[in-house]
Amino acid sequence: MKSSILAAAALSVAALGLASCGDSATEQPAEAPEGVPGLTVTNARMVLAPVEGNPAAVYFDLAYDGGRNLALTRAHVEGAQSASLHEYGEWNRQVQMQEMLPLVLKKGDKVAFEPGGKHVMATGVAPELQPGGTTEVTLTVSGGDKTTFEAEIRGPGEER
């Protein structure tokens, strides 16, 4: 009986001690910087397909001036069911579109994602994405850091 009273008293003292810890100011973790340090994207545009239901393509200019090498591994387009990094390559003596391997970036690199070359393929584009609007595109690099940017939406006949 004595031991159960002592145990209850010890628990009460411990609970009071823990409760008082909540009164002290807690340090907030430092906020991570927006985007991937050193990675900039300009001239971003998404061009809708001429045939409704076909994939759209996202083009942009990418520059990297960061302190460490990294690799571009994934893309996400807001309002599309899926997105992937694509490029053209030769297979069996024919040029064809293919999924892109991770793109290694080092300080000073500039890469154009342009028609006939590297691009983001957006499939299952929502009907709400219309010419004149914008959508968010997110690029993910090795290690999981992400950069998000706005892309102007253009119609199939507009400049790519």
Separation CA 118–CA 128 (nearest Å): 25
pLDDT at 95: 82
**Structural domain boundaries of the chain?**
39-154
Phi then psi for 8, rounded to 5 degrees? Answer: -65, -40
pLDDT at 104: 97
Separation CA 131–CA 159 (nearest Å): 12
Q: Output the pTM of the full model.
A: 0.77
pLDDT at 17: 45
Give the tens place of pLDDT for each residue, 109-123: 999 999 999 999 999
- Of 81, 35, 99, which is closest to residue 62 (Cα–Cα)? 35
Residue 153: is its pLDDT beyond 50? yes
Where is pLDDT greater, at 158 or 48? 48
- Kindly state the average pLDDT of the residues 124-152: 97
- Kindly state the average pLDDT of the residues 150-158: 93
Give the tens place of pLDDT for each residue, 60-100: 999 999 999 999 999 999 999 999 999 988 788 888 888 99
pLDDT at 97: 84
H/E/C letters for each residue in the chain? CHHHHHHHHHHHHHHHHHHHHCCCCCCCCCCCCCCCCCEEEEEEEEECCCCCCCCEEEEEEEEECCCCCEEEEEEEECCEEEEEEEEEEEECCEEEEEECCCEEECCCCEEEECCCCCEEEEEEECCCCCCCCEEEEEEEECCCCEEEEEEEEECCCCCC
Give the tens place of pLDDT for each residue, 8-58: 444 444 444 444 444 444 444 444 446 899 999 999 999 999 998 999 999
pLDDT at 158: 80
Where is pLDDT greater, at 117 or 4? 117
Separation CA 160–CA 156 (nearest Å): 8
In CATH terms, the superfamily for domain 39-154 is PCu(A)C copper chaperone (2.60.40.1890)
